Each structure stands twice: as structure tokens, then as C-alpha cells.
């Protein structure tokens, strides 16, 4: 079981700043370790490394992330020294917890986030907020797709039979394909007259209609067309 302290700054200027210097981070991390009787702390440093990178993608941080094992303790001074976003914080903390690694973020709590207390409460609350935001985002996306579809817009994927896509991205719309609309109308008429799906396929084949690939229509295609 090893205790690690992780410290990071993005630029040389930050390293010289008393408020965020590597030395100050190291001192605060060591102080938290002493509270728990941990005197041998291995300090891992990423100097001049952007916080926009995941911990696993940082030079020293990535090596540390892969090294951490059950029973180890990781201490950081502040949330933004280790994580790039709230989502990254929740996901990474959960991954470390699953591996049996104790994570302490000193500006939240001096106790591991896996134990009962302010730290665990904070992360539980943050996870709930993120899940709520994710749900709202998906709802907004679905509403946007439905609205676009209702206006004749294309929401992605292959165009349904009888239509083709014109435009790109947000400007993409579905327009009727005259040739395919003829086939679609004939298939619907056959089905409405009482023909089975198999019968519709056979009739279209006899009448010389083919699928987009140039082969006789398959039942699955017909089902999408006439139902």
C-alpha cells in the first residue's frame, strides 16, 4: 500500500505563483497525509501540463493512473489539479474506487471519497447533477430531432425508401425520389388489396421492380415500405 501525492500546473508562470506553485501543492498534500499518519508520500509531478487532458493522458499522471492498485492512496490539493471536468471527476473517481484506491481531494475533505463524510456526499451530489444534465440534454436532442423530422429534415442515417437526402448537416432534408415513390405506391396498393408481404415481393419481382442494389426486393424492405 503506497501513498501518492499528485501535483500539477499548466504553465511555468503558475509554478512561480505562490497560490498555485508546485511547492505549495506538495506542502498541502503532505499535510493531509500526516493527518492519516502517512509519512512516506511519493510525489508525482506534471509541470506545464494542461488540465484539459484526462489524467490517463498526462505524462506523469498517466503512468501513475496505471500504477495505482488496491490499498493505495492518492492525494491531490484541489479538484482541478486532477480532473478536467465534473464528468471526468465522477468517472475517474468511480474507476479508482472500483480498483480499491483511496482518493483524497484536500479542498473538499481530508477523508477518502470512498468513506462516509463530506467528500462522498459531494461526489454523490455531483454525479446526480450530471445525470440530470445528461437526461435533459438527451431530451432536448430528441425534441430537436422530432421537430426537424416534422419539417422534412433528415436526422441521420440512410434515407427511408422513397426519399433521398439533399444538403449536409443541419441543412439536410428529405425529398421524394420519383422513381422509388412509384415502387412504393405500387407496393402499398398491392398490400392494401390483400396481398401478403411475400405476395407483394413476388408481384414486384414479376413486374420488373428491383431494390436499390439491383436485386429483387426482400420481405424486410417491403415491411418497412408498406406497414
Strand partners, 176: 163
Active site residue 10: yes
What element of type H or E holds 205? helix 197-206
Separation of alpha carbons 194 and 135, rounded Å: 44
Sign of the dihedral through C-alpha 37, 42, 47, 49:
negative
Instruction: Answer for the pair 103, 72: CB distance below 8 angstroms, yes or no.
Output: no
Separation of alpha carbons 96 and 201, rounded Å: 56
Chain center to CA of 159: 26
- Annotated catalytic residue: which of 10, 21, 30, 211? 10
Q: Which residues are catalytic?
A: 10
Amino acid at each position: 500500500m503506497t501513498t501518492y501525492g499528485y501535483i500539477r500546473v499548466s504553465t511555468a508562470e503558475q509554478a512561480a505563483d505562490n497560490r498555485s506553485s508546485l511547492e505549495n501543492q506538495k506542502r498541502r498534500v503532505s499535510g493531509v497525509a500526516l493527518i492519516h499518519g502517512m509519512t512516506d508520500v511519493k510525489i508525482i509531478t506534471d509541470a506545464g501540463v494542461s488540465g484539459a487532458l484526462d489524467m490517463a493522458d498526462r505524462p506523469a499522471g498517466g503512468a501513475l493512473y496505471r500504477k495505482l492498485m488496491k490499498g493505495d492512496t492518492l492525494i491531490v490539493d484541489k479538484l482541478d489539479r486532477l480532473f478536467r471536468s465534473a464528468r471526468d471527476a465522477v468517472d475517474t473517481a468511480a474507476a479508482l474506487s472500483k480498483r480499491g484506491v483511496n482518493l483524497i481531494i484536500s479542498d473538499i475533505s481530508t477523508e477518502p471519497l470512498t468513506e462516509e463524510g463530506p467528500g462522498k456526499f459531494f461526489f454523490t451530489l455531483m454525479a446526480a447533477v450530471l445525470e440530470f444534465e445528461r437526461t435533459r440534454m438527451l431530451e432536448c436532442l430528441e425534441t430537436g430531432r422530432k421537430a426537424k423530422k416534422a419539417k422534412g429534415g433528415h436526422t441521420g442515417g440512410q434515407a427511408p425508401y422513397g426519399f433521398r437526402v439533399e444538403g449536409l448537416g443541419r441543412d439536410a432534408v428529405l425529398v421524394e425520389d420519383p422513381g422509388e415513390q412509384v415502387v412504393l405506391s405500387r407496393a402499398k396498393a398491392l398490400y392494401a388489396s390483400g396481398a401478403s408481404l411475400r405476395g407483394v415481393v413476388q408481384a414486384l419481382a414479376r413486374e420488373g421492380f428491383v431494390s436499390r442494389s439491383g436485386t429483387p426486393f426482400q420481405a424486410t424492405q417491403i415491411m418497412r415500405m408498406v406497414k
